[in-house]
């Protein structure tokens, strides 16, 4: 039987799982994915934690301890302790991969409170707090690529903290993210920090772009518009990859690389297909090149394992064709810049909503823990 995930890995794609729960870490399921399915990283977000904690039972013991040690434990305290514990345990499981890849993979990502997405100073402070609490070298702190997030990314990198830049949509914003990363490294170097110890990925979202653009194309309704459905997410990612090649081929980067700096790898996020009419592995097969990361929800990982195909490098040299897709969008009346602004705003709102759901879930569990104690 063909090992399709191994073929993807051998093509240079780092396979990460977009899921994290105590169920995965405590049952050995995550360890099995590492051994059997070539998974070399994990990403998490408020939605994932909210879903995991609704199951509740595996978190009861720690909640009881928190309530028992301090009756004034707040929901924020509990979320901080529960999520950092999950990330720490996953980091332990992936520590071997981290060592084997010399720090490139074996990473677990933990996001700052999304309600801080427009607060630079609090994002920086929270990133430091999370990094220190987890206390593992193979962790990424996730910071959103909002306008206010850019200086937070640079400042966090300057402190020697590895960062996963999230909620990234437009190619122009991606260029700003790479600039912020380089500036952070330059500041870290000035602070005497070993640049080889700092790593980063930039998470470019894919399927959400098609969802938004396809809706607008359906509203336009012409045959030319409808023919463009399902093409923008991949085209945008391919243009982002071209921007990546350009930036990391620059003289500025060469100077940093000479000092030991690591490239900020592009990571394809939101790779679960939302339209059932599309192939369920298209956001994996069509975004392959050496040195990229693809973080997949469990269903997408299973789908690729079952029937995914690797066609070699599907990113290098594709910028011209990808740009034609964006040109055609403009010709039928889709405003690309407005799409990207909408997605960023809605992305923050969705994560804030998930965070509120997480707060409600943990509040209920804290109440239950206090009832058990009483």
3-state secondary structure of 144: strand
Residue whose token pair is 């305290």: 77
Residue whose token pair is 């804290």: 366
166 within 8 A of 141, measured Cβ to Cβ: no
Catalytic residue among 142, 229, 231, 350: 142
List residues bridging with 202 in a β-sheet.
165, 266
Determine the Cα–Cα distance for residues 240 and 250; give it in Å rounded to an integer: 16
List residues bridging with 331 in a β-sheet.
none
Determine the Cα–Cα distance for residues 44 and 323; give it in Å rounded to an integer: 31
3-state secondary structure of 179: helix
**Helices H / strands E in the chain, number of each:** 18, 8
Please give the full DSSP string across 10-53, using - where no structure is assigned: HTTEEEEES---HHHHHSSHHHHHHHHS-EEEE---HHHHHHHH
Determine the Cα–Cα distance for residues 105 and 138; give it in Å rounded to an integer: 8
Residues contacting 1, CB < 8 A, separation 6+: none
Whole-number Cα distances in Å, 166 to 13, 146, 176: 19, 9, 13
Whole-number Cα distances in Å, 226 to 173, 218, 343, 363: 27, 6, 20, 46
| Residue 200 backbone phi and psi in degrees, to 5 | -160, 150
Does the annotation mark 142 as catalytic? yes
Looking at residue 286, the DSSP 8-state letter turns out to be T
List residues bridging with 144 in a β-sheet.
166
Residue 144: name the closest of 204, 87, 187 by CA: 204
Looking at residue 129, the DSSP 8-state letter turns out to be H
Annotated active-site positions, please? 142
């Amino acid at each position: 039987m063909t090992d399709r995930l191994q073929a993807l890995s051998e093509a240079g794609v780092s396979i990460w799982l977009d899921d994290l729960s105590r169920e995965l870490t405590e049952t050995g399921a995550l360890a099995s994915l590492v051994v059997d399915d070539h998974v070399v990283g994990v990403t998490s977000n408020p939605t994932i934690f909210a879903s995991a904690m609704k199951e509740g039972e595996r978190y009861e013991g720690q909640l009881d301890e928190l309530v028992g040690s301090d009756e004034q434990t707040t929901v924020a305290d509990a979320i901080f302790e529960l999520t950092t514990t999950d990330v720490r345990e996953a980091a332990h499981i992936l520590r071997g991969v981290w060592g084997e890849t010399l720090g490139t993979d074996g990473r677990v990502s933990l996001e700052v409170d999304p309600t801080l997405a427009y607060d630079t100073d609090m994002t920086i402070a929270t990133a430091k707090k999370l990094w220190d609490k987890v206390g593992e070298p193979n962790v990424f702190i996730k910071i959103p690529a909002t306008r206010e997030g850019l200086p937070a990314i640079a400042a966090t990198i300057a402190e020697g903290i590895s960062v996963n830049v999230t909620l990234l949509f437009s190619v122009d914003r991606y260029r700003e993210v790479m600039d912020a990363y380089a500036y952070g490294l330059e500041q870290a170097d000035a602070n005497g920090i070993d640049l080889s110890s700092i790593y980063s990925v930039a998470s470019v979202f894919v399927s959400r772009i098609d969802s938004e653009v396809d809706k607008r194309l359906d509203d336009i309704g012409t045959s030319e518009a409808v023919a463009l459905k399902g093409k923008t997410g991949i085209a945008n990612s391919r243009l982002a990859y071209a921007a990546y090649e350009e930036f990391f081929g620059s003289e500025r980067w060469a100077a940093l690389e000479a000092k030991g700096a690591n490239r900020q790898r592009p990571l394809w996020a939101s790779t679960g297909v939302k339209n059932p009419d599309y192939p369920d592995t298209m956001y994996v097969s069509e975004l392959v090149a050496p040195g990229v990361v693809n973080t997949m929800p469990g269903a997408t990982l299973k789908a690729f394992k079952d029937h995914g195909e690797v066609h070699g490098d599907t990113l290098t040299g594709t910028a011209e064709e990808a740009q034609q897709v964006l040109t055609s969008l403009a010709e039928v009346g889709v405003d690309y810049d407005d799409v990207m602004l909408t997605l960023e705003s809605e992305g923050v709102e969705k994560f804030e909503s998930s965070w509120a759901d997480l707060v409600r879930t943990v509040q209920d569990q804290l109440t239950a823990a206090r009832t058990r104690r009483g």
